[in-house]
Amino acid sequence: MDLKLKGRSTLITGGSKGIGFAIARFLAAEGCNLRLVARSEADLASARERLKKEYGVQVDTYAMDLAQRGRAQVLASKCPDVDILVNNAGSTPRGTLLEIDEDRFRAAFDLKVFGYINLCREFYRQMKARRKGVIVNILGNGGEAPDAGYIAGAACNASLMAFTRALGGQSDKDGVRVVGVNPGPVATERLVGLMKTEAKRKLGDESRWQEFSKGFPFGRAATVDEIAATVALLASDLSSYTTGTVVTIDGGMVNRGSLI
């Protein structure tokens, strides 16, 4: 399907791996020029070469820690013409309130919650001036079904769900759309690595990691492409009446009453 995105400029945080890189691939296939942000220069260089070789689009990269104050302003000054902002960078630790100390909790909020909010503020301002633009926030279904064993993720994602709905609920007045995507378990390198570790610890064989997927909907985690395809559609004009909402892609997990 031609989403009519050719030539548009997209900035993707956490864009060198996992869901972020999959989104980059889908948007590159539609002809978007890319700006990728991540912490690792080496990972960004690898992603840039793969994308340029396969799709022939312009790919610029920025190695930085978005948890640091002022990074959003730096990016906005370097990328004043972004049509699509995809906020994806963030990592929240698993654990209960008593297991996650203040420093780890604050670090999670600094990167994901304040990182998203600060980037939205800077790029929303630019989009409002042009009366055109789309912001897609990648969140997580933990914000819909809070789990005491993943309390930092529940708090971060619930905060950003409210933020996305509040901002997107009035952004039409400025010609801007703001939407969120709540993935459930996704078969990223990180998740597969964690499952392999668990398989080795509990079953004595890391190759049996897929056995831990049996409790997921359809007996598997989502693929990164399933998330990326939805993001590409939401970012396109085919979704031009969609704003202030959050799309959940978790195989129905939140409607089970439990994420386990």
The C-alpha atoms of residue 107 and residue 114 are separated, in whole angstroms, by 10
The CATH number covering residue 61 comes to: 3.40.50.720
Across the beta sheet with 9-13, the strand order is 59-63, 33-38, 9-13, 84-87, 133-138, 176-183, 246-249
- What is the reported pLDDT for 214? 83
- What is the reported pLDDT for 257? 60
Q: Is residue 145 part of a domain?
A: yes
- What is the reported pLDDT for 132? 97
What does the block give as tokens for 17? 């791996």
Q: Is residue 238 part of a domain?
A: yes
- What is the reported pLDDT for 11? 98
- What is the reported pLDDT for 205? 82
Tell me how many domains the chain contains.
Answer: 1
User: What are the residue ranges in the chain where pLDDT is below 70?
Assistant: 257-260
Q: Is residue 197 part of a domain?
A: no
Domain carrying residue 101: 9-186+222-247
Q: Is residue 194 part of a domain?
A: no
- What is the reported pLDDT for 69? 92
pTM attached to this predicted model: 0.93
